[in-house]
Amino acid sequence: MRLDFVLGTVFIIPFTQMVFFAFVAGLSGGAAAVSFVVVGNAVATVTYSSIFSVCQTTDSEKEAGTMEHLLVSPANRFALYFGRGVVPILASLATVTVGLVYAVTIFHVPFRASSSPAIAVSIILTAVAMVGFGLLLGGIALYLRTSIILGNIFLFIGLLLSGVNFPLSSLPLPLQYLGDVFPLTWGLAAVRASLAGASLGTLLGLWLNVVVGAVASLAIAMVLWKTFERRALATGSIARF
């Protein structure tokens, strides 16, 4: 991750994305709609670090020829795989934090200092969960020629099904159930609830769903990695993947 990429992801992408959707919401729904979409897009920018960066690690390893060395390494597989997500987690934390600062200072989203601890916990859990989801997509990308298309697909699916620009209840019921599968849906709900000063019981329920999404994503990612590794070692090549 080059410095210019990191700085652009953290400071520029949240601003431009929020301004675009705030303008659209302002034309159609007024101040309340603007507040809704800027918070949604502030949190949704986590996908750039958590999905694209993590998925492209798989592509880079294949292109550089280092994948084979990883497969024969005696290193702990969990540490090896989860280690890919450490820097994206930090970048995701920074991106969402900057996005919410924009939301409060530029778009005047209501904010209470007493909500800061709950917001911080929600942001941290969302960043970790989304990197876990990125690792899952990276595991799928092991079997593909490239991960870019996969990353783009889930970037826009998240915008549509996770309650970013409109309430999830506006969707048909089957799509609501599908949206509940994505960690971004619960992470965003937790951030919104934190900003609104929701009770601890409500927040604990949302945080639990975020944690479940993170653990499930990482577990599936590890299964995909292990399967890929066994097949590659059995055939002596990753060329078919």
- Quick: pLDDT tens for 1-45: 678 888 888 999 999 999 999 999 998 878 889 999 999 999 999
pLDDT(46) > 70: yes
Three-state SS string across 116-184, please? HHHHHHHHHHHHHHHHHHHHHHHHHHCCCCCCHHHHHHHHHHHHHHCCCCCCHHHCCHHHHHHHCCCHH
Q: Tell me if residue 101 falls in helix, strand or coil.
A: helix
b or e along 47-79 (b: 16 or more beta carbons within 10 Å of the residue's beta carbon)?
A: bbbbbbbbbbbbbebbeeeebeeeeeeeeeeee
Mean of pLDDT values over 229-236: 90
User: What stretches of the chain show up as alpha helix (H) in DSSP?
Assistant: 3-7, 13-28, 31-44, 46-47, 54-64, 67-72, 77-82, 86-105, 116-141, 148-161, 173-179, 183-195, 200-235
Distance (Å, rounded) from C-alpha 142 to C-alpha 165?
32
The total number of residues written for the chain in this structure = 241
Cβ atoms within 10 Å of 218's Cβ, excluding its own? 22
* pLDDT tens, position by position, 76-94: 888 888 888 888 999 999 9
How much is the pLDDT for 55?
84
